[in-house]
């Protein structure tokens, strides 16, 4: 009886093993691209949220009265940061008749509010030849200014309204990241996100919808 039981215990044959491996390979071939695409979307979305957070943090400091004048700096590379000038320093500049611009000079001694290094993305149109751009905010939008690449963007339509106040976020391996021409890689359809800001500090977030060839609010 014991001998019979031992004879009935069999391992997988070579053919059965090959069939199992083929099934596992087929499942992996289908699942891995989807997982990879999900991972890329997660990375790009995360960096877009960081960009939105910098704008929100900067403008909320203005509204709270912590800083009367703040600057969001976007550097190719890619890094984004926000700095604020204290009330006393800002008042002195106004009383002295200094030009309230958005350059590095006026913010040379400013406090850093928040900053992020962004490694998984490129930004339209900072990826085309490098450069940097800055956006400055004040309460009520009185001293709102844009300099560098932030001031040279052309208009796009968001919710049927033309605006040039935006940051477009593409995956770092994207071959085309052109928000104005609506030119993104349609073959791989990598995720593209956008952060829209107003002179008053209002922030809206969008994602590119490939099927409708337009931005979708999120």
Within a domain: 207 = yes
Domain count, the chain: 1
Q: How far is it, in rounded angstroms, from Cα 133 to Cα 152?
A: 9
- Residue 2 scores a pLDDT above 70: no
Nearest-angstrom CA–CA distance, 202 and 217: 14
Model confidence at 129, in pLDDT bands (50, 70, 90)? very low
Q: Is residue 177 part of a domain?
A: yes
Report if residue 18 sits inside a domain.
no
For residue 116, report the phi and psi dihedrals to the nearest 5 degrees: -140, 140
Per the domain annotation, does 70 fall within a domain? Answer: yes
pTM to 2 decimal places: 0.81
SS3 93: helix
Tell me the three state secondary structure of residue 48: helix
Name which of 31-40, 162-171, 207-216 the model is least confident about: 31-40
Confidence of residue 122 (pLDDT cuts 50, 70, 90): confident
105: helix, coil or strand?
coil
Domain that holds residue 104: 40-217
Output the domain CATH number for residue 186.
Answer: 3.55.40
The answer to whether the CB of 93 falls within 8 A of the CB of 121 is no
Candidates 196, 186, 187, 200; CA nearest to 216 is 196
Domain contains 137: yes
pLDDT digits (tens, 9 = 90+) for 50-82: 999 999 999 999 999 999 999 999 987 688 999
C-alpha to C-alpha distance for 184 and 3, rounded to whole angstroms: 68
Over the stretch 79-116, which tens digit does the pLDDT of each residue have? 899 999 999 999 999 999 988 999 888 898 899 999 99
Helix (H) or strand (E) holding 5: helix 2-8
Q: Which is it for strands 203-209 and 192-197: parallel, antiparallel or unpaired?
A: antiparallel
- For residue 13, being part of any structural domain is answered with no
Within a domain: residue 145? yes
Q: Would residue 121 count as lying in a domain?
A: yes
């Amino acid at each position: 009886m014991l001998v019979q039981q031992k004879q009935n215990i069999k391992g997988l044959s070579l053919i059965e093993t090959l069939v199992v491996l083929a099934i596992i390979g087929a499942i992996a071939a289908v699942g891995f691209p989807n997982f990879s695409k999900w991972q890329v979307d997660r990375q790009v979305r995360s960096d877009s949220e960081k960009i939105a957070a910098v704008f929100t943090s900067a403008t909320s400091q203005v509204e709270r009265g912590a800083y009367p004048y703040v600057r969001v700096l976007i550097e190719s590379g890619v890094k984004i940061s926000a700095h604020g000038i204290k009330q006393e320093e800002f008042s002195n500049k106004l009383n002295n008749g200094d030009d309230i611009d958005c350059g590095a000079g006026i913010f040379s001694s400013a406090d850093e509010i928040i900053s992020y290094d962004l490694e998984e993305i490129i930004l339209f149109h900072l990826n085309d030849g490098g450069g940097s751009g800055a956006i400055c905010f004040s309460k009520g939008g009185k001293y709102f200014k844009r300099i560098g690449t932030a001031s040279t963007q052309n208009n796009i339509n968001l919710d049927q309204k033309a605006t040039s106040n935006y940051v477009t976020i593409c995956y770092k391996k994207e071959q085309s990241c052109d928000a104005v021409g609506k030119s993104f890689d349609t073959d791989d359809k990598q995720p593209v996100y956008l952060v829209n800001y107003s002179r008053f500090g209002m922030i809206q977030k969008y994602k590119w919808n490939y099927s409708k060839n337009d931005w979708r609010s999120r």
